[in-house]
Protein backbone atom coordinates (compact mmCIF):
# COMPACT_ATOMS: atom_id res chain seq x y z
CA UNK A 1 0.00 0.00 0.00
CA UNK A 2 1.51 3.39 -0.96
CA UNK A 3 2.66 5.72 1.81
CA UNK A 4 0.35 8.57 2.77
CA UNK A 5 0.85 11.81 4.69
CA UNK A 6 -2.88 12.47 5.11
CA UNK A 7 -2.85 11.78 8.86
CA UNK A 8 0.43 13.58 9.63
CA UNK A 9 1.33 17.11 10.61
CA UNK A 10 3.41 18.02 7.55
CA UNK A 11 5.79 20.97 7.73
CA UNK A 12 7.11 22.34 4.45
CA UNK A 13 10.26 24.40 4.90
CA UNK A 14 12.52 26.15 2.44
CA UNK A 15 16.25 25.50 2.59
CA UNK A 16 16.91 29.14 3.51
CA UNK A 17 14.45 28.86 6.41
CA UNK A 18 15.98 25.61 7.67
CA UNK A 19 19.62 26.73 7.37
CA UNK A 20 21.51 30.01 7.34
CA UNK A 21 22.10 30.70 3.65
CA UNK A 22 22.62 34.44 3.98
CA UNK A 23 26.09 34.29 2.40
CA UNK A 24 24.82 32.16 -0.46
CA UNK A 25 21.83 34.43 -1.02
CA UNK A 26 24.16 37.43 -1.18
CA UNK A 27 26.24 35.64 -3.84
CA UNK A 28 23.10 34.97 -5.85
CA UNK A 29 21.91 38.57 -5.56
CA UNK A 30 25.35 40.03 -6.37
CA UNK A 31 26.77 37.63 -8.94
CA UNK A 32 23.86 35.63 -10.32
CA UNK A 33 22.72 32.04 -10.61
CA UNK A 34 25.88 30.55 -12.13
CA UNK A 35 28.03 31.89 -9.29
CA UNK A 36 25.57 30.57 -6.73
CA UNK A 37 25.59 27.10 -8.32
CA UNK A 38 29.38 27.00 -8.42
CA UNK A 39 29.59 28.08 -4.80
CA UNK A 40 27.17 25.38 -3.62
CA UNK A 41 28.94 22.66 -5.58
CA UNK A 42 32.31 23.72 -4.22
CA UNK A 43 31.01 23.77 -0.64
CA UNK A 44 29.07 20.50 -0.60
CA UNK A 45 30.96 19.25 2.46
CA UNK A 46 30.81 22.56 4.35
CA UNK A 47 28.08 22.32 6.96
CA UNK A 48 25.46 25.04 7.20
CA UNK A 49 24.46 26.72 10.45
CA UNK A 50 20.85 26.44 11.67
CA UNK A 51 18.38 28.90 10.21
CA UNK A 52 15.27 30.50 11.71
CA UNK A 53 13.02 27.47 11.22
CA UNK A 54 15.54 24.96 12.56
CA UNK A 55 14.49 25.11 16.27
CA UNK A 56 10.83 24.41 15.50
CA UNK A 57 11.56 21.64 13.00
CA UNK A 58 13.94 19.88 15.37
CA UNK A 59 11.44 20.15 18.22
CA UNK A 60 8.46 18.91 16.20
CA UNK A 61 10.39 15.95 14.80
CA UNK A 62 11.06 14.88 18.38
CA UNK A 63 7.35 14.09 18.70
CA UNK A 64 7.96 10.96 16.64
CA UNK A 65 9.99 9.60 19.57
CA UNK A 66 8.03 11.16 22.43
CA UNK A 67 4.55 10.03 21.42
CA UNK A 68 3.86 6.28 21.25
CA UNK A 69 2.70 4.59 18.07
CA UNK A 70 3.13 5.66 14.47
CA UNK A 71 4.86 8.79 13.26
CA UNK A 72 2.99 12.05 13.81
CA UNK A 73 5.20 14.64 12.09
CA UNK A 74 6.85 14.81 8.69
CA UNK A 75 9.06 17.58 7.33
CA UNK A 76 9.52 18.21 3.62
CA UNK A 77 12.29 20.49 2.37
CA UNK A 78 10.58 22.57 -0.32
CA UNK A 79 13.20 24.50 -2.24
CA UNK A 80 13.53 26.56 -5.39
CA UNK A 81 16.96 24.97 -5.79
CA UNK A 82 17.70 22.35 -8.39
CA UNK A 83 18.78 18.85 -7.39
CA UNK A 84 22.40 19.57 -8.35
CA UNK A 85 22.73 22.34 -5.76
CA UNK A 86 20.94 20.51 -2.94
CA UNK A 87 23.65 18.12 -1.72
CA UNK A 88 24.97 20.63 0.80
CA UNK A 89 21.47 20.84 2.29
CA UNK A 90 21.10 17.07 2.61
CA UNK A 91 24.61 16.74 4.06
CA UNK A 92 23.76 19.31 6.73
CA UNK A 93 20.47 17.56 7.51
CA UNK A 94 22.37 14.32 8.05
CA UNK A 95 24.96 16.04 10.23
CA UNK A 96 22.34 17.46 12.59
CA UNK A 97 20.48 14.16 12.77
CA UNK A 98 17.23 15.61 11.43
CA UNK A 99 14.76 12.90 10.44
CA UNK A 100 13.98 14.44 7.04
CA UNK A 101 13.79 12.22 3.97
CA UNK A 102 11.51 14.07 1.54
CA UNK A 103 12.46 16.93 -0.79
CA UNK A 104 10.66 19.03 -3.39
CA UNK A 105 13.32 20.74 -5.55
CA UNK A 106 11.43 22.79 -8.12
CA UNK A 107 14.20 24.58 -10.04
CA UNK A 108 12.89 28.12 -9.73
CA UNK A 109 9.17 27.38 -10.00
CA UNK A 110 6.62 28.34 -7.37
CA UNK A 111 6.36 25.87 -4.49
CA UNK A 112 2.67 26.51 -3.91
CA UNK A 113 1.21 23.96 -6.39
CA UNK A 114 3.03 21.21 -4.48
CA UNK A 115 1.68 22.09 -1.03
CA UNK A 116 -1.49 20.04 -1.43
CA UNK A 117 0.42 17.22 -3.11
CA UNK A 118 2.47 16.79 0.08
CA UNK A 119 -0.48 17.60 2.38
CA UNK A 120 1.50 20.50 3.88
CA UNK A 121 -0.13 22.01 6.98
CA UNK A 122 2.46 24.73 7.52
CA UNK A 123 4.94 26.36 5.14
CA UNK A 124 7.96 28.17 6.59
CA UNK A 125 9.95 30.27 4.14
CA UNK A 126 11.99 33.44 3.64
CA UNK A 127 10.45 33.99 0.22
CA UNK A 128 7.62 36.53 0.32
CA UNK A 129 5.81 35.35 -2.82
CA UNK A 130 5.61 31.70 -1.75
CA UNK A 131 4.27 32.63 1.68
CA UNK A 132 1.65 35.00 0.26
CA UNK A 133 0.49 32.48 -2.34
CA UNK A 134 0.26 29.74 0.26
CA UNK A 135 -1.93 31.84 2.56
CA UNK A 136 -4.08 32.93 -0.39
CA UNK A 137 -4.55 29.24 -1.21
CA UNK A 138 -5.62 28.30 2.31
CA UNK A 139 -2.36 26.89 3.70
CA UNK A 140 -0.86 28.22 6.92
CA UNK A 141 2.43 29.93 6.05
CA UNK A 142 4.85 32.39 7.61
CA UNK A 143 7.69 34.56 6.40
CA UNK A 144 10.55 33.93 8.81
CA UNK A 145 12.79 36.58 10.32
CA UNK A 146 16.47 35.93 10.99
CA UNK A 147 17.29 34.18 14.24
CA UNK A 148 18.00 36.47 17.21
CA UNK A 149 21.69 37.38 17.54
CA UNK A 150 21.73 35.84 21.03
CA UNK A 151 19.16 32.99 20.96
CA UNK A 152 17.67 31.83 24.24
CA UNK A 153 18.80 28.45 25.51
CA UNK A 154 16.66 25.73 23.94
CA UNK A 155 14.23 23.74 26.05
CA UNK A 156 12.87 20.26 25.50
CA UNK A 157 9.14 20.94 25.66
CA UNK A 158 7.81 22.28 22.34
CA UNK A 159 6.54 25.82 22.78
CA UNK A 160 4.62 27.73 20.12
CA UNK A 161 3.09 31.18 20.54
CA UNK A 162 0.35 32.66 18.35
CA UNK A 163 -1.19 36.06 17.86
CA UNK A 164 -4.99 35.96 17.60
CA UNK A 165 -6.64 38.15 14.95
CA UNK A 166 -5.51 37.44 11.36
CA UNK A 167 -3.51 34.42 12.59
CA UNK A 168 -5.66 31.99 14.60
CA UNK A 169 -8.82 33.91 13.77
CA UNK A 170 -9.92 35.71 10.62
CA UNK A 171 -8.91 39.33 10.06
CA UNK A 172 -12.54 40.53 10.11
CA UNK A 173 -12.26 42.15 13.55
CA UNK A 174 -8.76 43.41 12.83
CA UNK A 175 -10.06 45.23 9.77
CA UNK A 176 -12.78 46.93 11.83
CA UNK A 177 -10.07 48.17 14.19
CA UNK A 178 -7.87 49.39 11.34
CA UNK A 179 -10.66 51.06 9.37
CA UNK A 180 -12.95 52.37 12.15
CA UNK A 181 -10.77 52.57 15.26
CA UNK A 182 -10.67 51.10 18.75
CA UNK A 183 -14.11 52.26 19.89
CA UNK A 184 -15.85 50.57 16.96
CA UNK A 185 -13.77 47.43 17.46
CA UNK A 186 -14.67 47.15 21.16
CA UNK A 187 -18.36 47.75 20.45
CA UNK A 188 -18.35 45.10 17.72
CA UNK A 189 -16.61 42.51 19.91
CA UNK A 190 -18.92 43.17 22.87
CA UNK A 191 -21.99 42.83 20.66
CA UNK A 192 -20.65 39.59 19.16
CA UNK A 193 -19.12 38.11 22.34
CA UNK A 194 -21.15 34.91 21.99
CA UNK A 195 -20.66 34.61 18.24
CA UNK A 196 -17.51 32.62 17.45
CA UNK A 197 -14.72 34.21 15.47
CA UNK A 198 -14.18 32.80 11.99
CA UNK A 199 -11.14 30.60 11.48
CA UNK A 200 -7.90 32.25 10.42
CA UNK A 201 -4.99 30.77 8.45
CA UNK A 202 -3.48 29.04 11.51
CA UNK A 203 -6.69 27.66 13.04
CA UNK A 204 -6.24 24.21 11.52
CA UNK A 205 -2.62 24.05 12.70
CA UNK A 206 -3.67 25.00 16.23
CA UNK A 207 -6.33 22.28 16.24
CA UNK A 208 -3.81 19.70 14.99
CA UNK A 209 -1.33 20.65 17.72
CA UNK A 210 -4.12 20.50 20.30
CA UNK A 211 -5.02 17.00 19.11
CA UNK A 212 -1.38 15.95 19.51
CA UNK A 213 -1.44 17.40 23.02
CA UNK A 214 -4.49 15.32 23.85
CA UNK A 215 -2.66 12.12 22.93
CA UNK A 216 -0.35 12.54 25.93
CA UNK A 217 -1.21 12.74 29.63
CA UNK A 218 -1.85 16.38 30.53
CA UNK A 219 1.06 16.59 32.97
CA UNK A 220 3.42 15.05 30.42
CA UNK A 221 2.35 16.80 27.23
CA UNK A 222 5.41 17.63 25.10
CA UNK A 223 3.63 20.65 23.57
CA UNK A 224 2.81 23.95 25.25
CA UNK A 225 0.76 26.55 23.38
CA UNK A 226 0.36 30.25 24.10
CA UNK A 227 -1.88 33.02 22.83
CA UNK A 228 -0.20 36.44 22.87
CA UNK A 229 -2.63 39.11 21.72
CA UNK A 230 -3.05 42.87 21.92
CA UNK A 231 -6.69 42.35 22.91
CA UNK A 232 -7.82 43.02 26.48
CA UNK A 233 -11.08 42.86 28.42
CA UNK A 234 -13.87 42.85 27.39
CA UNK A 235 -12.82 41.80 23.87
CA UNK A 236 -11.11 38.71 25.34
CA UNK A 237 -14.47 37.01 25.96
CA UNK A 238 -15.11 36.27 22.30
CA UNK A 239 -11.66 34.70 21.95
CA UNK A 240 -12.16 32.42 24.96
CA UNK A 241 -15.59 31.30 23.80
CA UNK A 242 -14.28 30.60 20.29
CA UNK A 243 -11.46 28.39 21.60
CA UNK A 244 -13.97 26.54 23.79
CA UNK A 245 -16.16 25.91 20.75
CA UNK A 246 -13.11 24.59 18.87
CA UNK A 247 -12.37 22.29 21.84
CA UNK A 248 -8.87 23.75 21.98
CA UNK A 249 -7.04 24.25 25.24
CA UNK A 250 -4.46 27.06 25.30
CA UNK A 251 -1.89 26.53 28.05
CA UNK A 252 -1.05 30.21 28.48
CA UNK A 253 -2.99 33.27 27.30
CA UNK A 254 -1.85 36.88 27.46
CA UNK A 255 -4.31 39.70 26.74
CA UNK A 256 -1.92 42.64 26.70
CA UNK A 257 -4.13 45.60 25.84
CA UNK A 258 -1.50 47.06 23.55
CA UNK A 259 1.54 46.39 25.76
CA UNK A 260 4.71 45.19 23.96
CA UNK A 261 4.83 41.45 23.29
CA UNK A 262 8.59 40.92 23.29
CA UNK A 263 9.05 40.66 27.07
CA UNK A 264 6.20 38.15 27.38
CA UNK A 265 7.71 36.09 24.57
CA UNK A 266 11.13 36.25 26.17
CA UNK A 267 9.61 34.78 29.33
CA UNK A 268 7.62 32.09 27.46
CA UNK A 269 10.61 31.14 25.26
CA UNK A 270 8.78 29.70 22.24
CA UNK A 271 10.44 27.77 19.46
CA UNK A 272 8.52 30.18 17.23
CA UNK A 273 6.02 33.04 17.45
CA UNK A 274 3.50 33.81 14.70
CA UNK A 275 2.04 37.31 14.23
CA UNK A 276 0.54 39.23 11.33
CA UNK A 277 2.15 42.63 11.88
CA UNK A 278 5.76 43.70 11.36
CA UNK A 279 5.42 46.17 14.24
CA UNK A 280 5.10 43.16 16.57
CA UNK A 281 7.32 40.73 14.67
CA UNK A 282 10.35 43.00 14.47
CA UNK A 283 10.91 43.38 18.25
CA UNK A 284 9.87 39.77 18.86
CA UNK A 285 12.47 38.52 16.36
CA UNK A 286 15.19 40.07 18.47
CA UNK A 287 14.49 37.59 21.27
CA UNK A 288 12.71 34.54 19.79
CA UNK A 289 12.30 32.87 16.36
CA UNK A 290 9.47 34.72 14.62
CA UNK A 291 7.31 34.36 11.53
CA UNK A 292 5.00 36.94 9.98
CA UNK A 293 1.67 35.76 8.58
CA UNK A 294 0.51 37.91 5.63
CA UNK A 295 -3.11 38.89 5.16
CA UNK A 296 -5.02 36.71 2.75
CA UNK A 297 -5.68 38.71 -0.40
CA UNK A 298 -9.33 39.27 -1.26
CA UNK A 299 -10.51 38.42 -4.74
CA UNK A 300 -9.63 41.25 -7.10
CA UNK A 301 -6.71 42.52 -5.04
CA UNK A 302 -3.54 43.26 -6.97
CA UNK A 303 -0.73 40.79 -6.93
CA UNK A 304 0.41 38.61 -9.79
CA UNK A 305 1.16 34.95 -9.36
CA UNK A 306 4.88 34.48 -9.91
CA UNK A 307 5.84 31.98 -12.56
CA UNK A 308 9.11 30.19 -13.10
CA UNK A 309 12.13 32.25 -12.13
CA UNK A 310 15.78 31.47 -11.67
CA UNK A 311 16.46 28.86 -9.00
CA UNK A 312 17.69 30.59 -5.86
CA UNK A 313 18.73 29.68 -2.30
CA UNK A 314 15.30 28.95 -0.92
Rounded to two decimals, the pTM is: 0.90
Residues in contact with 28: Cβ distance below 8 Å, sequence separation at least 6, in sequence order: 35, 36, 312, 313
CATH class name, domain 9-144: alpha beta
Name beta bridge partners: 113.
none
pLDDT at 2: 62
pLDDT digits (tens, 9 = 90+) for 96-122: 999 999 999 988 888 888 999 999 999
- Is residue 20 part of the annotated active site? The answer reads no
CATH 3.40.50.1000 residue ranges for the chain = 9-144, 158-292
SS3 content of the chain, % helix, strand, coil (to 5): 40, 15, 45
144 within 8 A of 126, measured Cβ to Cβ: yes
Residues lower than pLDDT 70 in the chain: 1-2, 67-69, 151-156, 217-219, 298-314
Superfamily of domain 158-292: HAD superfamily/HAD-like (3.40.50.1000)
pLDDT at 217: 63
pLDDT at 3: 73
17 within 8 A of 48, measured Cβ to Cβ: no
pLDDT at 34: 83
Cβ-based burial of 130 (10 A; exposed 0-12, middle 13-18, buried ≥19): buried
**Candidates 20, 130, 136, 163; catalytic one:** 163
pLDDT at 307: 41
- Phi then psi dihedrals of residue 33, to 5 deg: -65, -45
How, if at all, do strands 102-105 and 158-162 pair? unpaired
pLDDT at 8: 85
Residues in contact with 38: Cβ distance below 8 Å, sequence separation at least 6, in sequence order: none
Cis before 234? omega within 30: yes
Amino acid sequence: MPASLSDHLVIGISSRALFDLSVENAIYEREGLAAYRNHQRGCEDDLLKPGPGFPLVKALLSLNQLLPGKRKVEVVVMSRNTAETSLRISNSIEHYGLDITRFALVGGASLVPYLHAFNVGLLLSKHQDDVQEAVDGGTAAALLYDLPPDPLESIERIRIAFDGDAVLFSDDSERIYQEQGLKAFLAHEKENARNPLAEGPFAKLLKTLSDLQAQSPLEKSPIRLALVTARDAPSHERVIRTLQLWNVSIDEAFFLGGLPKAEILKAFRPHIFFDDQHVHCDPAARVVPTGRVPYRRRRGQSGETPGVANPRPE
